[in-house]
Amino acid sequence: MPGPDPSPSRGLAKRARQRGQVLAIFAGAMVLFVGVLAVVVDVSWYWSNTLKVQRAADAAALAGAVWLPGQQATAYQTADNEATKNGYTTGGGVTVTPVQDSVDPHQLDVTISAPVNTFFMRLFGITKIQATRSSKAIYVLPVPMGSPLAYYGVGCFVLKPPATAPACTQSATTNGDSGVAPPAGLSGALCGTDLCSQGGWGAIITRGGNEQNGDAYAPENNGGYSPANNTKYDPNGYYYQLEVGAGGGVYIFDPGFCAMGGNGSGGTYGAGDHWIAGPSNPVSTYYTLFNTNGAPGQKQIWTQVAASGTLFKNQTGADTANGATSTGVNCSSTGVNNGSDNYHDRWWAMSTGLAAGVYQLQVQTTDPGDATINANTNAENMWSLAITGGGGPRVYGAGRMATYNNLSGGLQKFYLAQIDPTVGAGKTAEIDLFDPGDVQGPAYLRILSPDGGSQSYATFSYTSDSNCTGSSDACAASGRTQIETNNGSSSGFNNTWLHIFIPLPDTYGSVATGGLWNNGWWQIEYNVIGGNDTTTWQVSVIGNPVHLVVP
């Protein structure tokens, strides 16, 4: 039988064929490898670029949202400019699309679409992939405070003669009748022909006063506490937001300073201006009205509409007809020419015939042009504010305010703040009260929540600053529904910030509310023997006021 072919040429041919097969397999594998590499590299590159597009959309939405709701065109341009800063300008396949949200006018929705060049995918004819990302940002305005109506204040005006004036009787429902006739055309809740009291006055202490008297921002002194200067002193005072309909007017009641009688309650004329005033210690108050031009958060574009100027500057009067004594002039309403203040116990029409829009009223006692004004005067000016016109006008404190409450015995309720469910649900409300408890004790403070369709006492935790003495209640606690601010002999919260924290459930605001607490208004309740108290209120929802909306 024939044996194996010993020829070496046949073995070489077989090995060559094997090498050819390996090369073919390797070539095919290389094609597959390059394809996989193309996918990995290009997909990674695409993913990296979509992150850049997303960050640009986020930045554009955040930048533009602060101009809403009124400055839509500026909001859009600002968003476009911010996108350009990050490398994306409409044109050449790139689109930047800012849109004011159809449901919430404070929200800006921005979509950016841009082509992403490929590398290896070009081998397969794919040169670009379009990346599209969207972002939503909302600008949360300061929490409205103090009033859900077309006026603020006019609180428990008359507590003693003249006998012809109506009595002030407070209750947990109405907080009394102020006995002050409203400006013609004022809409809102009225008690007969008079304004129904909201239980307190707008208040501001002069620059030379002491913050320990309850105003945390307007006075620059600290009244014997350390440090001697008020570290929170703000010469800008306070701002009040006005939602005005076409043809509306702004009116201020008793805008100037006229010292009143005893500074007590239950038998004294305690809801008037007081403390040191006279020829050597004049009082100046300044009111400035701004049109926000639809952007309450952008002061640089506000335009001034009206200002009191020198009308309430360097006042030294006292209402001698109501028990006040002073070396200054008589400014009682019974005077022949009303002394130095023609608007004492009267409404001053600051501005009328206004265009519809959102306005801000600034109230301050620091004159930016004269450092000597009010520098050595310790006095407090109380006033009230009302607006007229159609379209459901409203007036309220913008985030913080000083208020003077003249309290009768029993339960007293005051409008505290309106917390919008779209802003607050699932977050924590912070209520900051400065210097509570300067009343006749025992005195208790509670917070009334509108959540769930009826009022209920909120459960909260609280802390306080180093000035707290703990003499009337603990300086910090949790699981509380009330705080004893005065135990009958002292208040542990004098010259103290009290910080109250209330968790809001995810379902907050899902049940409609009504009555005094309508539209998400919270109230603060005092249970006191009597007295009067100036306090500073601040309310906020914890978190960045300009933030992205997470889908």
Give residue-wise pLDDT tens across range 435-468: 998 888 799 999 999 888 788 999 999 999 999 9
Based on the domain organization, do 86 and 159 belong to the same domain? no
Q: Nearest to residue 338, comparing CAs of 268, 439, 256, 414?
A: 256
CA distance 465 to 496: 6
pLDDT, one tens digit per residue, over 375-385 is 989 999 999 99
My answer on whether omega of the bond before 421 falls inside 30° of 0, hence cis, is no
Cα torsion through 199, 204, 209, 215, rounded to 10 = 60
Residues 6+ apart with CB under 8 A from 433: 445, 497, 498, 500, 535, 536, 537
CA distance 293 to 67: 10
pLDDT, one tens digit per residue, over 80-131 is 999 999 999 999 999 999 999 988 888 999 999 999 988 777 777 888 889 9
Q: Nearest to residue 65, comparing CAs of 136, 167, 2, 117?
A: 136
Residue 512's CB is within 10 A of a number of other CB atoms, namely 9
Based on the domain organization, do 322 and 471 belong to the same domain? no
Least confident of 272-281, 352-361, 451-460, 531-540: 272-281
In a domain, 7, yes or no: no
Based on the domain organization, do 395 and 414 belong to the same domain? no
Cα torsion through 405, 410, 413, 414, rounded to 10 = 0
Q: Is the pLDDT of residue 160 over 60?
A: no
Among 355, 384, 401, the domain-final residue is 401
In a domain, 130, yes or no: yes
Contact 317, 335 (CB under 8 A): no
Least confident of 51-65, 347-361, 419-433, 512-526: 512-526
Among 122, 139, 156, the domain-final residue is 139
For residue 163, what pLDDT is reported? Answer: 36
Based on the domain organization, do 131 and 197 belong to the same domain? no
Q: Is the pLDDT of residue 359 over 70?
A: yes
pLDDT, one tens digit per residue, over 127-141 is 888 999 999 998 887
Among 139, 170, 197, the domain-final residue is 139
Identify the residue with better confidence: 82 or 169. Answer: 82
For residue 175, what pLDDT is reported? Answer: 39
Based on the domain organization, do 129 and 79 belong to the same domain? yes
Cα torsion through 385, 391, 392, 394, rounded to 10 = -30
Based on the domain organization, do 160 and 77 belong to the same domain? no
N residues, the chain: 551
Based on the domain organization, do 133 and 150 belong to the same domain? no
Based on the domain organization, do 31 and 112 belong to the same domain? yes
**What is the SS3 assignment for 231?**
coil
In a domain, 54, yes or no: yes
**Range of the structural domain that residue 356 is part of:** 140-401
Based on the domain organization, do 122 and 148 belong to the same domain? no
For 22, 72, 528, the CA distances from 256, given in Å and listed in that order, are 100, 38, 30
CATH number for the domain that contains residue 436: 2.60.120
Based on the domain organization, do 271 and 147 belong to the same domain? yes
Q: 251 burial class (0-12, 13-18, 19+ CB within 10 angstroms)?
A: buried
Amino acid at 22: V
Pairing of strands 531-541, 400-407: antiparallel
Least confident of 219-228, 237-246, 364-373, 422-431: 219-228
CA distance 46 to 48: 5
In a domain, 2, yes or no: no
Task: Kindly report the average pLDDT of the chain as a whole number.
Answer: 82
DSSP designation for 457: E
Based on the domain organization, do 97 and 108 belong to the same domain? yes
For 343, 370, 377, 519, the CA distances from 278, given in Å and listed in that order, are 18, 19, 9, 45
pLDDT band, very low/low/confident/very high, at 150 (cuts 50, 70, 90): confident
pLDDT band, very low/low/confident/very high, at 26 (cuts 50, 70, 90): low
Based on the domain organization, do 482 and 513 belong to the same domain? yes
Q: Is the pLDDT of residue 194 over 70?
A: no
Q: Apex CA 462: angle with CA 518 and CA 537, to 5°?
A: 50
Most confident of 9-13, 185-189, 366-370: 366-370
For residue 24, what pLDDT is reported? Answer: 67
For residue 479, what pLDDT is reported? Answer: 97
For 141, 367, 368, 549, the CA distances from 50, given in Å and listed in that order, are 31, 52, 50, 19
CA atoms within 13 A on the CB side of 174: 15
In a domain, 4, yes or no: no
In a domain, 1, yes or no: no
In a domain, 336, yes or no: yes
Predicted structure pTM score: 0.81
CA distance 506 to 410: 34
Q: Nearest to residue 260, comparing CAs of 161, 352, 189, 182?
A: 161
Domains held by the chain: number: 3
In a domain, 63, yes or no: yes
For residue 14, what pLDDT is reported? Answer: 55
For residue 167, what pLDDT is reported? Answer: 41
pLDDT band, very low/low/confident/very high, at 164 (cuts 50, 70, 90): very low
